[in-house]
Amino acid sequence: MQPQPKFHFTPEEYLALERRAETKSEYWNGQIYALAGASESHVLIITNVVSALATQVKGRPCKVYSHDMRVKVSAAGLYTYPDVIVVCGEARFEDRHRDTLLNPLVLIEALSSSTAVYDRGAKFEFYRSLESLSDYLLVAQDEPKIDHYTRQSADRWLLSTYRGLDATVPIPAIDCALPLADVYDKIDWTEAEPEAVSLRVLRERAVEYGPHPGDPIQAGRLPPAPAP
């Protein structure tokens, strides 16, 4: 008898697999989701943001991590890899491996066609359950634009949108600022990936990787594919 494929994993099983894997995956609700590769624009934006913030927090008790640091959102049962993380004070980790952060102060995601719906919707909902989180920034790839959510109270967030290379995003929680000219340095706008994504791409992704918690297909917000 052939062994049956395993469709449900415990967090411990996921972490054991992830620490041996060559590529990164998210974990949510017992399922493991492979993460797609990033475009050049995505990589440049992350590099620029990390560089800008790391320079500003130098000499202060704050650390800036890139997308190789995993974050656990306990209330949602989610393990994920934000593009940029800032933590101030003592960084708390899940275990002795120190590769799964529990208390991010600022989270930043660079949007792409495959993640924009998730990053704006379900993922932000998951992140909001992090008591330590004060700021959430979404950086567009197809235009100089950053959406900045700041926590006002436990259940209330304020959205501020910054557009154009002359704009600067203040982040008072870490006493930093992000000039969009620095964030988008060396970005080739002719090659930048649009945030919008077609229904066909979403359906193909769901078939290839399985439904993701943030996909409109999973949430029942997309119509079924037409019959061939």
More confident residue, 101 or 35: 101
Q: How confident is the model at residue 139 (pLDDT cuts 50, 70, 90)?
A: very high
Cα angle at 187 between 185 and 190, to 5 degrees? 155
* Own/partner pairs, 13-20, CB within 8 angstroms, 24+ separation: 14/79, 15/79, 15/100, 18/70, 18/79, 19/97, 19/99
pLDDT average, residue stretch 201-223: 40
> What integer pLDDT is reported at residue 6 of this predicted model?
62
Residue carrying the six token digits 């990053």: 119
Tokens of 151: 């926590």
**Each residue of 150-194: pLDDT tens digit?**
999 988 999 999 999 999 999 999 999 999 999 999 998 876 665
**Each residue of 92-108: pLDDT tens digit?**
999 999 999 999 999 99
Tokens of 97: 């491996």
* Own/partner pairs, 8-11, CB within 8 angstroms, 24+ separation: 11/77, 11/79
Mean pLDDT in the chain? 85
CA pair distance 48, 151, nearest whole angstrom: 24
pLDDT average, residue stretch 9-14: 94
> What integer pLDDT is reported at residue 197 of this predicted model?
40
Q: How confident is the model at residue 208 (pLDDT cuts 50, 70, 90)?
A: very low
pLDDT average, residue stretch 192-207: 44
Question: CATH number for the 38-193 domain, one of 3.30.2290.10, 3.40.50.300, 3.40.50.2300, 3.90.1570.10?
Answer: 3.90.1570.10
pLDDT average, residue stretch 68-75: 96
Phi, psi of 170 (to 5 degrees): -80, 140
> Which is it for strands 25-28 and 70-73: parallel, antiparallel or unpaired?
unpaired
Closest CA relative to residue 69, chosen from 46, 95, 43, 101: 101
